[in-house]
Amino acid sequence: MSTVAFAGIAILTLAAALAAATLQKLMHAALSFAVMFVGISAFFFFLGAEFVGLVQIFVYIGAVAVLIVFTILLTRHDVGKVRGFNWSGVFVAVAVFGGLVWTISKTKSLSIVPQQIKPVTVQRIGELLMTNYVWPLQCVGVLLTAALIGALILVMEEKS
Amino acid sequence: MPTLSMLLVVSAALFCIGLLAALSRRHAIFILIGIEMMLAAANLNFIAFWRFAPQPAPPTGVMVAIFAIAIAAAEAAVGLAMVIAVYRHFRTTNVDQLDQLKG
Amino acid sequence: MADSFDQIFIRAKQWLLSPISCRAPDWLIQVASSLLNIAALLGVFLTLFALISVLERKILGRMQNRYGPNRVGPFGLFQPVADGIKMLIKEDIVPARADKIVHFLAPVLIAATAILALGVIPYGRNMTPFIIDGGILFFFAVGSTTELAVFMAGWGSNNKFSMLGAMRAIAQMISYELPLIITVLPVVMIVGSLNPDKIVGAQSTYSLGFVPHWFVFTPWGATAFILFFVSGLVESNRTPFDVPEGESEIVAGHMTEYSGFKYATFFMAEYIGMFAISGLGVTLFLGGWHAPVHFLEFIPSYAWFFVKLSILLFIYIWLRGTLPRTRVDQIMNFAWKFMLPMAFTCVIAAAVWHYTGRGLRGWLWSLGVIAVVYVTLSILLDTRRKFAPRTYRFAE
């Protein structure tokens, strides 16, 4: 049962990712990108990390995908003109994939099945964020604020 | 339940598709999409290693994934803002044509 | 006796599942149980949608001194059936230069996400269809997908009006999503959980037997509820915030190029989104399925939930009959200059309420915090001094 679910999610994710990387129409690629993130959150749910899956959907589909489609909209006079495909990238990607798979298959300690775990609750994550991880949390807050301001300044109209 | 190596193969495939998009597409937005994909593959690895660790394990993988998502969101926002700024200035989003250091 | 009425739907579900529950494997029972939940959800809310669509027209009619639909069936109650048949037999037009796949997927996605959001709301005692630990987060995660669907509708139609409507819709949805989520934060903070059942459970007690401990009866809760309700109005694109589909300006916004059943799907998604956001408001601030006074607890819990839901829906219709449409820039200014600071104030006021003992003292302190910020904001945003001959920035 769970192997079937795993295969289904893996096929959905990888197919959507491949579509996002290769489709000629930008808008279709961006929407496949969103579908890919649904697949990744399904993986997170499957592995028992519900909270991360929900955050993933919230951040990527609610914010990043909308940002990407907006950028496509704002730069659309260029859409269709930028064609061309760099075939050397394919070779590099395939070579890296081959290397990774070879390494994974050679590592004996990786063919394990997971033990039963208690699902990690939102309360536990909240407690950890406020105790052990409070400094990273503050840093991420500062980083996000800086990114917000930086992005705003970047897209401001240039004064001529 | 599938083994850890199956999950790792999936995330390796995802990473390489992201690499493919970042290396071979000429449109700037595709490069960003590729980088996001690679980050997502890394997140998948964090969660997988956490799930397959000997129990009871502290949820470190989960926490790292949450922070990685936040940072990836910031990266996407700034990256897309740069795409828009570059497009305004050069009237193109083809990264091959952006070969001038002079603004 | 009262208890058996309260749990009647749970019993019915167990009875329906009993033929397979002893033999079948666990996952099959789980799937069957989920399917029953989904069927019940769809049945209830599609009926409610049909009912509200005719009641809205009748109530609006009464508010405008006319009868409203009264031809089909008793009191015109079968009007939705007639409307449905009309929608189904209309021609389905797809513009020649539309992006066909995106154009087709947009209404599917928007309806699916609207229905998904209904799944985590507790409708009665033991009556939460899908129990997720981060239920509130699930609600907003699913809700944020709507923006993408609206954009797909606007882009896929390849029409100026569609694109403009979609841009307006997304702009206002993103702007009001911030206050919407931040007003939920105080409740989550006070309860210490993102689980809707626990949030309802935290509001279950009564002072003196008749004052319910609903969050709307605290200063921060009342403020947050009003902000939440206004943001909900915007999120569901209802009057007075219906600029994305303002028919006098941009035909029908992102729905311009849709006809027949696809248009009906958009319409349905809008109403279901309204039910979902009202249901969440009832859960978070109005005590969920608990009775307003203790001795009325014998009335089944789901009845209380739907009574509260109908009151909120009536207010939605009432506002539509009363208020004119606002301008786009007014909506945006209101979101960023007033709603967002007030929402943050609610978070602070809730913290003050908690740390001053949750009693009368806390009540007064948090009221003070909110009053100070409210008065300051109203002085800062006062526009009375700027009376001058009217200038037209958006028309010449």
The answer, for C336 touching chain A at a CB cutoff of 8 Å, is no
Whether A12 and A76 share a structural domain: yes
Whether C58 and C108 share a structural domain: no
To the nearest whole Å, the CA of B90 is away from the closest chain A CA by: 11
Domain count, chain C: 2
The answer, for A85 touching chain B at a CB cutoff of 8 Å, is yes
Distance CA C342, CA C120 (A): 27
The answer, for A54 touching chain C at a CB cutoff of 8 Å, is yes
Give the residue among C175, A40, C170, A150 at the shortest CA–CA distance from B74: A150
Distance CA B23, CA B27 (A): 10
Say if residues C177 and C144 touch (Cβ distance below 8 Å).
yes
Say if residues A43 and A13 touch (Cβ distance below 8 Å).
yes
The partner residues of B27 in beta bridges, in order of sequence, read B94
Whether A133 and A84 share a structural domain: no
Report the percentage of chain A scoring pLDDT > 90: 10
Q: Could you tell me if residue A102 is inside a domain?
A: yes
Whether A136 and A101 share a structural domain: no
Q: Could you tell me if residue C257 is inside a domain?
A: yes
Whether A126 and A88 share a structural domain: no
**Last residue of one domain, picked from the residues C89, C107, C133:** C89
Give the residue among C41, C233, C204 at the shortest CA–CA distance from C125: C204
Whether A128 and A90 share a structural domain: no
Give the containing element (helix H, strand E) for C24.
none
Nearest to A62 among C145, C152, C194 (CB): C145
Whether A23 and A90 share a structural domain: yes
User: The tokens of C383 are what?
Assistant: 């526009």
Residue of A nearest to C154 (CA): A73
Give the mean pLDDT of A60-78.
82
Say if residues C259 and C201 touch (Cβ distance below 8 Å).
no
Whether A88 and A151 share a structural domain: no
> What string of pLDDT tens digits covers the 396 residues of chain C?
556 777 777 777 778 777 777 777 777 888 888 888 888 888 888 888 888 888 888 888 888 888 888 888 788 788 888 888 888 888 888 888 878 888 888 889 888 888 888 888 888 887 888 888 888 988 988 888 888 888 888 888 888 888 888 888 888 888 888 899 999 999 988 888 888 888 888 888 777 767 788 888 888 888 999 999 999 888 888 778 877 776 677 777 788 788 888 888 888 888 998 999 999 999 988 888 888 877 777 778 888 888 999 999 999 989 888 888 887 888 888 888 888 999 999 999 888 888 888 778 888 888 888 888 888 888 888 776 666 676 677 665
**Last residue of one domain, picked from the residues C59, C89, C119:** C89
Whether C295 and C185 share a structural domain: yes
Q: Could you tell me if residue C392 is inside a domain?
A: no
Q: At what angle do helices C219-235 and C260-285 cross, to 10 degrees?
A: 180
Q: SS3 for A13?
A: helix
Task: Say what the pTM is.
Answer: 0.86
The answer, for B26 touching chain A at a CB cutoff of 8 Å, is yes
Say if residues C180 and C228 touch (Cβ distance below 8 Å).
yes
Interface test with A, best of C105, C130, C145, C254 (most A CBs within 10 A): C145
Distance CA B64, CA B61 (A): 5
Domain that holds residue C174: 90-386
Other residues' Cβ atoms within 10 Å of the Cβ of residue B9: 19
Whether C127 and C225 share a structural domain: yes
Whether A88 and A158 share a structural domain: no
Q: Could you tell me if residue C391 is inside a domain?
A: no
Q: What is residue A57's DSSP assignment?
A: I
Could you report the predicted ipTM of this complex, rounded to two decimals? 0.83
Whether A126 and A160 share a structural domain: yes
Whether A70 and A34 share a structural domain: yes
CATH topology of domain B4-97: Helix Hairpins (1.10.287)
Domain that holds residue A138: 120-160
User: The tokens of C210 are what?
Assistant: 């008749």
Q: Could you tell me if residue C67 is inside a domain?
A: yes
Count of A-C CB contacts under 8 Å: 67
Distance CA C188, CA C198 (A): 10
Torsion of CA A53, A42, B43, B59, to 10 degrees: 60
The label of the residue with tokens 């990690």 reads A120
User: The tokens of C306 are what?
Assistant: 């739907």
Say if residues B94 and A81 touch (Cβ distance below 8 Å).
yes
Domain ranges in chain B?
A: 4-97
Whether C85 and C172 share a structural domain: no
Domain count, chain A: 2
Whether A99 and A132 share a structural domain: no
The label of the residue with tokens 């659309």 reads A76
Q: At what angle do helices A65-74 and C145-157 cross, to 10 degrees?
A: 30
Q: Could you tell me if residue A115 is inside a domain?
A: no
Whether C261 and C359 share a structural domain: yes
Interface test with A, best of B63, B95, B98 (most A CBs within 10 A): B63
**Last residue of one domain, picked from the residues C53, C68, C89:** C89
The answer, for C249 touching chain A at a CB cutoff of 8 Å, is no
